[in-house]
């Protein structure tokens, strides 16, 4: 299972979606399993390097969290608003 983040209205150039966590699973057909994928507020995937500030900066705005079996097989999407 994979967790991606997508910046909906970013003011800087970012990847279309960025992998932030994953877990390798082996599940037999017809079975289910609970998985925890993590993305912390201070994760660098949510930040960009600001040359003027000489630091990584959180860009406030809307993001989408995408849970996927692969980058081409998105299973669930949830919108979140980031605040500084």
Dump pLDDT digits (tens) for 43-81.
Answer: 999 999 999 999 999 989 999 999 999 999 999 999 999
Determine the pLDDT at residue 83: 87
How many domains are there within the chain?
Answer: 1
Q: What percent of the chain has pLDDT over 70?
A: 100
Identify the pLDDT of residue 84. Answer: 75
Q: Domain limits at 56? A: 2-28+35-82
pTM surpassing 0.75? Answer: yes
Region 35-39: mean pLDDT is 93
Query: Domain holding 12: CATH number?
Result: 2.60.40.10
CB burial readout 11-48, b (16+ within 10 A) else e = eeeeeebbebbeeeeeeeeeeeeeeeeeeeeeeebbeb
């Amino acid at each position: 299972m994979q967790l991606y983040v997508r910046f909906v209205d970013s003011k800087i150039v970012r990847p279309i979606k960025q992998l932030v966590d994953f877990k390798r699973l082996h599940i037999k057909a017809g079975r289910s399993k609970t998985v925890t994928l993590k993305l912390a507020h201070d994760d660098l995937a949510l930040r960009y390097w600001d040359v003027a500030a000489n630091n990584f900066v959180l860009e406030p705005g809307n993001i989408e969290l995408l849970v996927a079996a692969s980058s081409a097989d998105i299973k669930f999407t949830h919108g979140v608003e980031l605040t500084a």
